[in-house]
Amino acid sequence: MTTIINEHRAAGQSIGFVPTMGALHDGHMTLLREAKKENDITVVSVFVNPLQFGPDEDFDAYPRDIDADQSLVARIDIDYLFHPTSEEMYPKQDITLTVGRLAAVLEGAKRPGHFDGVVTVVNKLFNIIKPDRAYFGKKDAQQLAIIEAMVDDFNHDIEIIGIDIVREEDGLAKSSRNVYLTDEERLEAVALYNSLLLAKELIDGGETQTAVIEEEIIRYITSYSSGTVDEVAIYQYPELIKVDKLEGQCFISLAVKFSKARLIDNMIIGGL
């Protein structure tokens, strides 16, 4: 992969990169179409990264379907699909990176070590692919903020481009985990997005107290779904600092557990 990339760079071609863990869906395709539009060469990686799975998370059960992924990628003429093995990516891996404060809240607090694994593998992929631009979905807003900070802190000459959340027709954020929802849960899951729309209405109406907004989100999800609210929080973005009152750019983050799926969603307030 590195040899191929070096040939394209020597020819003066720009490289767009979309790192994924596979089980590709329309959200990934949106990232890839944007990368293809803005670059001469587009690369997608498919690698289920063991470093970002905790001891209570089933790495082996993560959905994998490389044949389906290849078919989707081929439909839009992506130049390269990079699909390394764990042994190729981590022949020794004596050194890993640590995120620190940005990973001490939200998903990072729920999944200790998760974002350390993310930045370690993304650093490796950036060094292999050497992209001019890399594309990430805003559905994982905390991850996007951490990647942007990593690029700054480690002097990567890469433009990070965040792409808006891709949703189903009823508003549910597209995710590889949606396949784990029962038929009834799938209908209920739209409550996540609807609760964010309710929050936006409150904010547009002048509400600034984050505790009030969070309580209304919890009330709505509890009333309209069987899911258990795992977390609802409002943070400054991209600083990821908890706030009691809306100020500047913030994002509303939520996580809800269903029987076999834990879904996340968010809404950025104040523009991004």
Give the pair of three-digit tokens for residue 45.
């990686």
The edge-to-edge listing of strands for the beta sheet with 262-269 is 241-242, 228-236, 250-257, 262-269
Contact assessment for residue 30 and residue 166, using Cβ atoms and an 8 Å cutoff: yes
DSSP letters, 135-189, are EEEGGGHHHHHHHHHHHHHTT---EEEEEPPPB-TTSPBP-GGGGGS-HHHHHHT
Which residue, 100, 243, 150, is CA-closest to 136?
Answer: 150
Question: Burial, 170: exposed, middle or buried (Cβ in 10 Å; 0-12, 13-18, 19+)?
Answer: exposed
Name the token pair of 191. Answer: 């409550």
DSSP for 60-128 reads GGS---HHHHHHHHHHTT-SEEE---HHHH-SS--------GGGSSHHHHHSTTHHHHHHHHHHHHHHH
Catalytic residue (one of 28, 83, 114, 156): 28
**Does 28 participate in catalysis according to the annotation?**
yes
Residue 235 contacts residue 209 (beta carbons within 8 Å): no
Sign of the alpha-carbon dihedral angle for 35, 39, 42, 48: negative
AA letter at 52: Q
In sequence order, what are the beta bridge partners of 18? 44
Catalytic residue list:
28
